[in-house]
Amino acid sequence: MSGLEITFREPSSDATDTEALWQILQPTFAAGETYCIPRDVSRAEALAYWSDSPHRTVLAVSGEEIVGSYFLTPNQRAGGSHVCNCGFVTKADTAGRGVATKMLLHALAEARRLGFRAMQFNFVVSTNVRAVRLWERHGFAVVGRLPGAFCHPSVGYVDAFVMYRSLLDNERETAPAQDASSEAARRLREFDLK
């Protein structure tokens, strides 16, 4: 299969974007294989989880079709707000066509633009092999293993990984910003405005 040409934009407030996003989220959450979301999550709860503040939601669009989405958010508040977290979801029929890779590259660039110093995935289900390989190919390392932390619907209890990647040009750069608390407050305000 060939790769898709992808553009990125924030969701509009119209029902078309909301419905398209739900059509991607619903089968992913219902499968219960990659997110700690109830498999019978309601439309409203799923959309709120994905899109409510402080998440900044981005849509991946091919032609006129929404083929994926990611959110970008501070991983923690205050002293941990310089590290971001993301969630990714793609339409099932786009698997193997580069959508997740393009979303990850966009998210990394956006995170750097917003001043984040690192990206961390808190709970990558070990059986989600495609995602683990993609993250590793782009510089993420497994920095923690949570034994049996996820109850997979067909495999049973499996491990979850904490995966991390620096966003700094010089990964050894560890000195805090001159006024880290002000920077953290600015970053959270910027996310709250979205």
Asked if residue 134 belongs to a domain, the reply is yes
- As given in the structure block, the two tokens for residue 101 are 């890779």
At residue 168's C-alpha, the angle toward residues 162 and 174, to 5°, is 85
Confidence of residue 100 (pLDDT cuts 50, 70, 90): very high
Closest CA to 110 of 67, 77, 70, 140: 70
Does 111 fall in a domain?
A: yes
pTM of the entire structure? 0.85
* Residue 124 forms part of a structural domain: yes
Q: How high is the pLDDT of residue 95?
A: 78
Mean pLDDT of the chain: 87
Q: At what angle do helices 43-51 and 15-31 cross, to 10 degrees?
A: 100
Q: Specify the DSSP element, H or E, that contains 161.
A: strand 156-166
CATH number of the domain residue 35 falls in:
3.40.630.30
| CA separation, residue 110 to residues 56, 57, 87, 156 (Å) | 10, 11, 14, 36
Q: Is 76 exposed, middle or buried (0-12, 13-18, 19+ CB in 10 A)?
A: middle
194 domain residue, yes or no: no
Crossing angle of helices 99-113 and 129-137, rounded to 10°: 50
The parent domain of residue 124 ranges over 7-186
Q: Residue 189 — pLDDT band, cuts 50, 70, 90?
A: low
Widest distance between CA atoms in the chain? 49
Residue 125 lies in a domain: yes
Radius of gyration from C-alpha coordinates of the chain: 17
Domain count, the chain: 1
**Band of pLDDT at residue 190, cut at 50, 70 and 90:** low
Q: Would you say residue 75 has pLDDT above 70?
A: yes
pLDDT on residue 92: 86
pLDDT at residue 97 tops 90 = no
Q: Which residue has the higher pLDDT, 109 or 193?
A: 109
